[in-house]
Structure 1
Amino acid sequence: MWRVVAVMLLVSGVSAWADEPVNLRGDRMSVTVQTDEGPVEIGRIQDPTNEISGEWARTSRACPPFCIQPMTPAPGVTTIGELELLDMLEDPDTIVVDSRTPDWFTQGTIPGAINIPYTDAAEQLNLLGCELDFEGFLCDEAKPVALFCNGPWCGQSPTAARAMIAAGFPAEKIHYYRGGMQVWRLLGLTVTD
């Protein structure tokens, strides 16, 4: 008898959960960010049975090159999660950078992100508030930047962060979203193509 009651409670609980909205935070359903194509609303997929599949569901990739990345890619860089990234996306003074190569970027990205491939990051600091000087970049007016790539196993944004710092970008202005596209998709967050 207790098994029947447990199953009934479980089924009724799942039904109740299915009726609840899938918010970003307890009090917030979505965030709207400005993109070159206009405003985009970032929310979570509302289907509680949704699952990731394909490339994003893979848990094992050969290392090297796809080794688990450290929590902090360089001294002075701040690692952030999804909620902090959403706050940064709403801040017009912050630049969110998808540091993946263009072939990955065109397969879908976080709304509001610009693409600066990790291979070009040190040469494109002018897009991040630095000024080109005879000896490199002056980054006195550098903007806060959030970098991301494919996920905890992807070395593209950690490589970009280290290259940017070596080129003169202040480490304390760099934020690293380690979860990347894999965790973003795992949470059912909006992706733009």
Structure 2
Amino acid sequence: MTTESRVLTFPALDSLTAAALLRAELALDVDPDDLVRDLDSGSQQGYMIVETRAPEAFATARIPGAINLPYRDMTPESVSELDRDLVYVCYCESIHCNAATKGALKLAELGFKVKRLSGGITAWQAAGYPVDRDLLTPALTSAPSPRCAC
């Protein structure tokens, strides 16, 4: 009995096409480990970290050095002071939220270079990386839920 492979139902791309698509994917996404290594080594030149969730979520837990720019509030006026020479690394709650994609899209449409942080603040915290929070905001007792906080 011959069974066809489910894995190969759709044939693999040729190596040049696959390499081009994977390179494009890496041009859009940032791994939390790469970001924390940059922060730890002080190598954050050339980019800014952007929290695209609501201010309440930003107050609860955020990546150190991030600015809060909710995607819903992005307008030509609200981003007019941003440095157009930087790359903006957008993040949101988790893989269950697309606020980072929405924010990155808005910034790109407004002429900025962008990337997204894979997994959002949830992946960041699950890896044990540090977060900042507003002093009067209680710390989360566990990792944030997959519920979107944007």
1:184 aligns with 2:134: no
Q: Deviations over 1:27-76 (max 9, x none)?
A: xxxxxxxxxxxxxxxxxxxxxxxxxxxxxxxxxxxxxxxxxxxxxxx989
Output aligned runs, 1:35-74, within 5 Å: none
Task: Provide the TM-score with structure 1 as the length reference.
Answer: 0.49
- Is residue 93–residue 144 contact of structure 1 (8 Å, CA) maintained in 2? yes
Task: Provide the TM-score with structure 2 as the length reference.
Answer: 0.62
User: How far apart, CA to CA, are the structure 1 residues paired with 2:108 and 2:26?
Assistant: 10
C-alpha RMSD over aligned residues: 2.5
User: How far apart, CA to CA, are the structure 2 residues paired with 1:190 and 1:76?
Assistant: 24
- Is residue 52–residue 70 contact of structure 2 (8 Å, CA) maintained in 1? yes
Cα 1:151–1:106 shift into 2, 3 Å: same
* 2:79 maps to which of 114, 121, 125: 125
Q: Deviations over 1:83-128 (max 9, x none)?
A: 2222554313321111111011011111111111111234333343
- Matching residue of 1:95: 48
1:109 aligns with 2:49: no
Structure 1 regions of 5+ residues with no counterpart?
A: 1-73, 131-141
What amino acid is the match of 2:79?
A: L
Aligned length, in residue pairs = 107
- Matching residue of 1:5: none
- Matching residue of 2:114: 174
- Matching residue of 1:163: 106
User: How far apart, CA to CA, are the structure 2 residues paired with 1:127 and 1:82?
Assistant: 26
Larger Rg: 1
User: How far apart, CA to CA, are the structure 1 residues paired with 2:38 and 2:75?
Assistant: 22
Q: Deviations over 1:149-176 (max 9, x none)?
A: 101111111001111122222xxx3111
User: How far apart, CA to CA, are the structure 2 residues paired with 1:148 and 1:167?
Assistant: 18
Report the secondary structure of 1:128's partner residue: coil
- Matching residue of 1:24: none
Cα 1:92–1:112 shift into 2, 3 Å: same
Report the secondary structure of 1:100's partner residue: coil
1:143 aligns with 2:143: no
1:86 aligns with 2:33: no
What amino acid is the match of 1:125?
A: V
Runs of 4+ with deviation above 6 angstroms: none
Report the secondary structure of 2:116's partner residue: strand
